[in-house]
Structure 1
Amino acid sequence: MAKRPKVNPNEMSFLDHLEELRWHLIRATLAVVVAGIFAFIAKEFIFDIVLLGPKQPDFITYQILCDVAKSVGLDESFCYTEIPFSIQNRTMSGQFSIHMWTAITAGFIIAFPYILYEFWRFIAPALHENERKASRGFIIIASLLFFIGVLFGYYVISPLSINFLGSYQVSEEVVNEIDLSSYMGLIRASALASGIVFELPIIIFLLTKIGLVTPQILKQYRKFALVGILIVSAIITPPDIASQIVVAIPVLILYEISIFISRMVLKKERKEKIEVKSITKN
């Protein structure tokens, strides 16, 4: 691949910016493809251990729930000896398609820090020197939040949903035989949705920097945010109060952290303006 000459960002035209964006997207896509190839090869680990793990009654989340229930004196209804459903494939290309899409999803998750790096490289030239210094830990923090969210979706939302929905019956005459695409789709959606939701502090930071959000606005709409969080929790979790609270609590904490971050961003900006004014006067 031939090296393209570096162009001063201030002198770039709209088409130059599009060309620059295209190369960043190409490199990010290549990173996802390479990581996806490794995930595709590691089929046994990805499927047997990771994705089919929450279907096993000895999965770590179920063991923790059982231990907590026993420690607070509850009965053993939280201790699972069987997840009563089977997984089946009903289409010729079903298993291969699931293998491909799972590899792509895993590739995206693994390559997420590099995707952020390419995004950062694209926007960094448009930032001032002090803004680049202030955002130095952006990739590390955003990646860490995303991975924590993915793990939360995998270890909390997925097993709660799988256990409830997989064992739910309207009649004993109806046997649960879950389609492979439905099962895998639930785990993928839980992990990715949680990863994106956990980026809330980063999103608020960026929105505050460009002036669309303030701490006052976030406080003013806190009640609406609470309702929205509970609605989202009800959608992505089984319809029982305990599961919804387990999911809602971390998101509420993230919302409060976002208010604090927004306040700190504005405080720092005001401080910098005062310093600039004092330098100008002198």
Structure 2
Amino acid sequence: MSDKPTAKEKRTKLKEVKDVQPIMQHIMALRRVLLVSMAAILLSFILIFLLMGDRLVDFLTRPIVNRGILIIYTAVPEALLTKMKVCLVAAIVAASPVVFYQVWSFIRPALYPGERKKFSLLFVAALFLFLLGIVFCYGVVYSMALDFFLVSGEGLATPMLSIDRYIGYLFGFALPFGISFQVPVVIYITTSMGLTTAKGLSKARKFIILAIAIIAAILTPPDVVSQVLLGIPMWLLYELSVVISRIVEKKERA
């Protein structure tokens, strides 16, 4: 009996190889996306740490230092580790255009020409709104929250804040704002897909406001003031999203 493969077996084997090749190409492309993104973040981290790490920490602690509050650290490596944490977050933000571009280059071949333009605009809008949320939090809301808490604590104790806990609180306060500012993008996508409508969003206003309150309670530090300061912008973004939904529906009907 011959051990040579038959013509049918050869065709089957060739088909299996052809099926595997696209999968391997996708895996290699994804590997490249991850490697380039990680390299961009690592390079950004090194440059930021060496060139402007101290200035970044000074900038973030300025709101509390300008109010006459003493910043301390209670463990030997705490100051250095906090500086590294700040530089890592800054590196992720600085490298985000590279990361977004790599992700975009990975999914771009699977999209139609019209979809490519729409998704590229959505990527830019999402990044812009995220940064806008962070800036709005740090420049407006965070100062209001600090003033409220410091005034509330006057006469009760002398404030001395650990730098690690302070930076952690600041990041925990700012990140939800960046995330919540994505609401218009999410509503645009769901409306374009037919999953939501302006009429449906308007009818569900009471439930959405309740959901906003729950989300604000989950995302922010456990105090009512932080929850309210996040909840109000989220509600305004929701109302903006209703308007965006109407615009999308008009374009779809045109």
Q: TM-score range by the shorter chain?
A: 0.7 to 0.9
**Alignment gaps of 5+ in structure 1:** 1-9, 58-81, 272-282
Pairing 1:148-163 to 2, within 5 Å after superposition: 148-163=132-147
- What is the distance in 2 between the residues matched to 1:204 and 1:214? 9
Pairing 1:1-282 to 2, within 5 Å after superposition: 13-41=22-50, 42-48=52-58, 50-57=59-66, 82-83=67-68, 85-166=69-150, 168-169=152-153, 172=156, 174-233=157-216, 236=220, 239-240=224-225, 247-271=230-254
Cα deviation digits, residues 56-114 of structure 1 (max 9, x gap): 44xxxxxxxxxxxxxxxxxxxxxxxx45x422211122112111111110111222233
One-letter code aligned to 2:198: P
2:8 alignment partner in structure 1:
none
One-letter code aligned to 1:43: G
- What is the distance in 1 between the residues matched to 2:199 and 2:26? 35
Cα drift, residue 244 of structure 1:
5.9
One-letter code aligned to 1:89: Y
Q: 1:137 to 1:250 in 2, by over 3 A?
A: same
Q: In the alignment, is the contact (CA less than 8 A) between 1:89 and 1:179 conserved in 2? A: yes
One-letter code aligned to 2:29: E
Larger helix share, 1 or 2: 2
Q: Give aligned-pair identity as a percent.
A: 30
Q: How many residues align?
A: 233
Larger Rg: 2
One-letter code aligned to 1:47: V
Q: In the alignment, is the contact (CA less than 8 A) between 2:54 and 2:83 conserved in 1? A: no
Q: 1:160 to 1:177 in 2, by over 3 A?
A: same
SS in 1 for 2:224: coil
- What is the distance in 2 between the residues matched to 1:214 and 1:13? 38
- What is the distance in 1 between the residues matched to 2:160 and 2:33? 43
TM-score normalized with structure 1 length: 0.70
- What is the distance in 1 between the residues matched to 2:36 and 2:190? 26
Q: 1:21 to 1:269 in 2, by over 3 A?
A: farther
- What is the distance in 1 between the residues matched to 2:25 and 2:71? 50
- What is the distance in 2 between the residues matched to 1:212 and 1:27? 35
TM-score normalized with structure 2 length: 0.76
Q: 1:111 to 1:191 in 2, by over 3 A?
A: farther
Cα drift, residue 55 of structure 1:
0.9
Q: What RMSD in Å do the two structures reach over aligned CA positions?
A: 3.0
Cα deviation digits, residues 157-179 of structure 1 (max 9, x gap): 3223333334543973x433222
- What is the distance in 2 between the residues matched to 1:36 and 1:244? 32
Cα drift, residue 12 of structure 1:
6.5
SS in 1 for 2:161: strand
Q: In the alignment, is the contact (CA less than 8 A) between 1:146 and 1:196 conserved in 2? A: yes
**Alignment gaps of 5+ in structure 2:** 1-18
- What is the distance in 2 between the residues matched to 1:204 and 1:119? 21
Cα drift, residue 217 of structure 1:
3.7
Q: 1:17 to 1:106 in 2, by over 3 A?
A: same
